[in-house]
Amino acid sequence: MTGKKVYLTIDDVPSRDFREKLDFLYKRNIPAVFFCVGKDMENHEEDLVEAVRRGYILGNHSYEHGYFSEMQLVECRASIQRTDEIIDRVYRKSGIERTKKFFRFPYFDQGGSADSKSYEARWSRPQSEWFVYEREDRRLAIQEFLKELGYSQPRLEGINMKFLTDKTLLEGIDVRCTFDQMEYFFGTDYAPYGMDKEAAILARIEEDVPYGGRALNCLETTDIVLVHDHENTTELFYKIIGRYVEKGFEFLRF
């Protein structure tokens, strides 16, 4: 299949294997945004500098990767700002100007309070639609803070809203996703639909359920794809990206 366009986002960067994954993507000319966890950045600063020099964008994924709805507002702000400063430093070291500031919440938890009623039904949806928010005041205060720091929603093209139940996907400052690879369930004992197994995770790529968060075989929409830089799924990471390449996906630049 050709003609499918995707935006690739990699979360929880950097792991021990980050450099290897960076080389893998770079060799194949695959652009991506790396959403970085601040507390892990110092151990891999040189690799992150190299990523920036190679044209990759470093996004902010908070400092400690906590649930924002469970943190005090002041902690949420500090977490965003601290990571923002570390990213600034990496860009300065790289000699590349930081022109795009993107943020993604850990667990897509925008900082309101989560409504767990929909828990049972959520597995078929992209992770970005798992939470329903009630505390609008808190949520909006964090959005406002992101805006003050210069963060913005990227201009993403071709995303067809008719396939999304959550119509607010592109309205916030933060970056969400439309296809969740869910490889983080690998080897866990709480995975839905047998997703603890590699075969089930890879099979997700072949499914054609565009109204259920699996639209990679549907040409009517571009997808924002989410994969993670986790050490326990490094081998799987290569298989997943390799499969995207085999399928002829066009990887769009943010």
Instruction: Tell me which residues touch Zn ion (CB under 5 A).
Output: 11-12, 106
* Integer CA distances (angstroms), 30 to 56, 94, 188, 209, 249, in order: 9, 20, 29, 25, 10
Nearer to Zn ion, 4 or 125 (CB): 125
Nearer to Zn ion, 38 or 213 (CB): 38
Q: Shortest approach of Zn ion to residue 58 CB, angstroms?
A: 14
Alpha carbon distance 157, 96 (integer Å): 25
Q: Shortest approach of Zn ion to residue 182 CB, angstroms?
A: 13
In the three-class reduction of DSSP (H, G, I as helix; E, B as strand; rest coil), residue 216 is classed as coil
With CA atoms as reference, report the closest residue to 58 among 27, 24, 28, 93: 93
Nearer to Zn ion, 11 or 47 (CB): 11
Residue whose Cβ sits closest to Zn ion: 11
Nearer to Zn ion, 106 or 172 (CB): 106
With CA atoms as reference, report the closest residue to 106 among 67, 141, 72, 140: 67
With CA atoms as reference, report the closest residue to 215 among 253, 163, 175, 165: 163
Q: Shortest approach of Zn ion to residue 250 CB, angstroms?
A: 25
Q: Shortest approach of Zn ion to residue 104 CB, angstroms?
A: 7
Nearer to Zn ion, 59 or 106 (CB): 106
In the three-class reduction of DSSP (H, G, I as helix; E, B as strand; rest coil), residue 145 is classed as helix
Q: Shortest approach of Zn ion to residue 106 CB, angstroms?
A: 5
Alpha carbon distance 118, 131 (integer Å): 8
